[in-house]
Structure 1
Amino acid sequence: MNDIYLYVITALLPLSACLTVLQVNPYHALVIRGILGAIAALVYAMFGAADVALTEALVGTMLAITLYGVAVRSSMVMRLGMIEKETKNQDKFNQLIKHLRIILNQSHLRLELIFYEDKKELDQALKNQEIHGICQEQIGQEQIDSEPGYETVTRIQRLYELIKPKLSSSLITYINLSDTKEKQS
């Protein structure tokens, strides 16, 4: 009967592993992964493997969580390029950016705005994959009112799939850069 706590703590290992795998938010998964490592270190220590417990606590938990945290933080961003002096209608532009931030936050993504001097530099940044998409004034479309509207073009299909259902279809476009590269060669 004295070993019941050992069974309870050991049962927490598969439970926390399942919670880690099923977690949608990557930051919550990191926290649960830390808990999993701490439980594993505790189990190793209870079985008398202090060296393995110390290694698990330092490398398996602390170092791994730190590295995963840096990787998740840097990969969960949409870099949106735009021309610096293009915002003629600041209200519509701010409204679009605010709406994009809300949409991306639902998928645990951040929006980072990158400004360029001219259209050529902006297009080159998209082709060089420095940015994930561009935001520009709508070109060649009739405006319902005389104020300019804005559209977003992305080169990443997954971002397009996340944004399209929640944003007017005239405001988002997907371009496949690999098709345009094949046509040029």
Structure 2
Amino acid sequence: MKEDIYIVAITVLLPLTAGMVVTQGNPYHAIVMRGILGAVAALVYSLFGAADVALTEALVGTMLSITLYAVAVRSSLSMRLGVVEEEFNATPQASLETIENSEQTNSAKQLLSTLRQTLSKYHMRLELLTYTNPQALETALIAKEVHGTCVLSKPGVTSEPFPLPPEEQPVYHLQVRVQRLYELMQPELPSTLVSLSEFDVHQPDIKVPNLIT
């Protein structure tokens, strides 16, 4: 009788952990819960005498799937931002920490910090890719090598409907080609630091020449 109670208690954990997996907001926590779900499932299989099924679940259903999920989350939850190395005092393929520790203006450091804080709210990372000139940066954006580009703002280039006075002109201009990223960043980025616009890869000639030369 006591053994039956243990089996029922362990079996009840199966739908409970499954529910916790699908309700997790943090993808990394969801991966951990998926591992716990796999362990509980393997234990239930073994309790019912299906040792071979339990072994398959542990090795393939849990270990392999968690590895694939971790790789997918790591690669997808990141924003690749292209910049011109001269504007950020960086070297090609420099890491975010390297660029932040280099001799930059306060505006550049503030921009990177704001972007990283904004993305961290959605469990995303900021990955910087540097290019030697604006033409290469433009080509990378059109070819979808980066999710967005950040360049020094030009006079008159702003997301505001009316021209701004020189002292209120944003320092940088940020273009993103992913609408969801645009929606996430629009309320978070200070207009005095950076102007934001959405880039249409199907009509690049409409927007790019006014921003990058």
TM-score under structure 1 length normalisation: 0.91
| Match of residue 125, structure 2, among 73, 94, 110 | 110
Q: 2:17 & 2:202 partners in 1: Cα distance?
A: 41
Matches of 1:69 and 1:85 in 2, distance apart? 35
Q: Distance in 2 between matches of 1:145 and 1:20?
A: 47
The equivalent position to 2:107 in structure 1, one of 92, 95, 99, is 92
Q: Which range is displaced more, 159-168 or 60-69?
A: 159-168
Shift of 1:77: 0.7
Runs of 5+ unmatched residues, structure 2: 90-103, 157-164, 206-213
Instruction: Provide the secondary structure at the position in 2 that maps to 1:139.
Output: coil
- Tell whether 2:167 aligns with 1:166: no
Does structure 2 retain, via aligned residues, the 8 Å contact 1:82–1:114?
yes
Question: By how many angstroms is 1:143 displaced?
Answer: 3.0
* Residues 71-90 of structure 1 mapped to structure 2, 5 A cutoff: 71-87=72-88, 90=105
SS in 1 for 2:186: helix
Q: Look up the equivalent residue of 1:144 and give its one-letter code.
A: E
- Of 162-171 and 96-105, the range deviating more from structure 2: 162-171
Q: Distance in 1 between matches of 2:166 and 2:149?
A: 20
Which among 155, 176, 180 is matched to residue 200 of structure 2?
A: 176
Query: Are the equivalent residues in 2 in contact too, given 1:143–1:149 (CA < 8 A)?
Result: no
Two-structure CA RMSD over aligned residues (Å):
1.9
Report the residue type matching 2:46 in the other structure: A
Partner of residue 175 from structure 2, selected from 129, 136, 153 = 153
After TM superposition, which residue ranges in structure 1, 4 or more long, deviate above 6 angstroms? none
Indicate the SS of the match to 1:136.
strand
- Deviation of the 1:166 alpha carbon: 1.0
Structure 1 residue 180: Cα displacement = 4.2
Partner of 2:43: 42
- Deviation track 1:25-49 (CA, whole Å, cap 9, x = no partner) reads 1100000000000000000000000
Query: How far apart are residue 168 of structure 1 and its match?
Result: 3.0
The 2-side partners of 1:32 and 1:83 are apart by 41
In 1, Cα distance between equivalents of 2:13 and 2:148:
43
How far apart are 1:179 and its partner, in Å?
Answer: 4.3
**Structure with greater helix percent:** 1
Matches within 5 A, 1:9-48: 9-48=10-49
1:92, 1:179 → 2: CA distance? 30
